[in-house]
A = this chain, B = another copy of it.
Amino acid sequence: MANDFRQSSVRLSCYSCPLRSMSHFRRFSEDELDFVARFKRGELSTDAGATVVVEGTNSAHLYTVLEGWGFRYKILEDGRRQILNYVVPGDLVGLQGALMAEMQHSVEALTPMTLCMFERSRLFTLFEKHASLAYDLTWLAAREESILDEHLLSIGRRTALERAAYLLAFLHERGRLTGLLDETRRYVPVTQTHVADTLGLSIVHTNKTLRRLGDRGMIRWLDRGCDVLDVEALCEVANWRPDDALVRPFI
């Protein structure tokens, strides 16, 4: 439950970064790759359940997710928790802390994770020397913003069933694009408590709502997660279409 970090034994070189070979991420020039390789300062491996970033602190580091699922959240004083968004390979973790005074949210691993670590103090150099990478950073921030917009629409105006359908379709899509899910691996690793804390519902009502999606054959709930059986149907219920941007930046 507490922080549980392992020092990775094998360290990946940016030159052979497995994410770069995926069609979903944009190609780098040799120049950009050289810079990022020098920007990188290490790797962080965590167990499932580990807290990677703590609200109110200010880490000297900035991360990119290499492997695994995680989530960002905030809690109120009395313990009420709201999950803000999920992180998957290619996502930045800790940009806020790098730009502002301190982190305004925490990040926890859903599965074992590997993160690529960068020196916060060298971020401004990136802006000075590599406009294209700076542009990508802003792109990533703008995309996070548009995801949060959709989440707000969901929690604020969709019904419980629509919200649940949206969330699972959304997670399935993110997992699919980043190589975490495919035709055979369709297991989204969240508990019903995570779903409840994302949708702004109680666990009991979340359970009943997920059951309804299961009854309609759209998902199959297993222990600590579910298989997404029919993404199209989920999108239909939620009245949502995934963003069809083909390539995305990645630092």
Contact = CB atoms under 8 A, between A and B. Distances in A.
Interface of A: 72, 74, 76-77, 80-82, 84, 95-96, 99-101, 104-105, 124, 127-128, 131-132, 134-135, 137-139, 141-146, 148-153, 155-158, 197-200, 239, 245
B149 A152 contact: no
A137 B139 CA distance: 10
Contacts of A76: 153, 157-158, 239
Of the candidates A96, A153, A155, the one having the most CB atoms from chain B within 10 angstroms of its own CB is A153
The 4 closest A-B pairs by CB, nearest first: A156-B200, A141-B141, A127-B131, A148-B148
Given A138-B138, A152-B151, A146 B81 contact: no
A95 B127 contact: no
A135 B124 contact: yes
Given A76-B158, A127-B132, A148-B152, 20 more contacts: A74-B152, A76-B153, A80-B158, A82-B152, A84-B149, A95-B138, A96-B142, A96-B146, A99-B135, A100-B143, A100-B146, A100-B245, A128-B131, A134-B134, A141-B141, A141-B142, A144-B145, A145-B145, A148-B148, A156-B200
Contacts of A128: 131
A153 B142 CA distance: 20
A80 to B, nearest CB: 4
30 contacts: A72-B149, A74-B149, A82-B152, A82-B153, A82-B157, A95-B138, A96-B142, A96-B145, A99-B142, A100-B139, A100-B142, A100-B245, A104-B149, A124-B135, A127-B132, A127-B135, A127-B138, A131-B131, A131-B134, A134-B134, A137-B138, A141-B141, A141-B145, A148-B148, A151-B152, A152-B155, A155-B155, A155-B200, A156-B197, A156-B200
A179 to B, nearest CB: 22
A80 B148 CA distance: 17
A191 to B, nearest CB: 17
A14 to B, nearest CB: 21
Contacts of A96: 142, 145-146
A128 B142 CA distance: 19
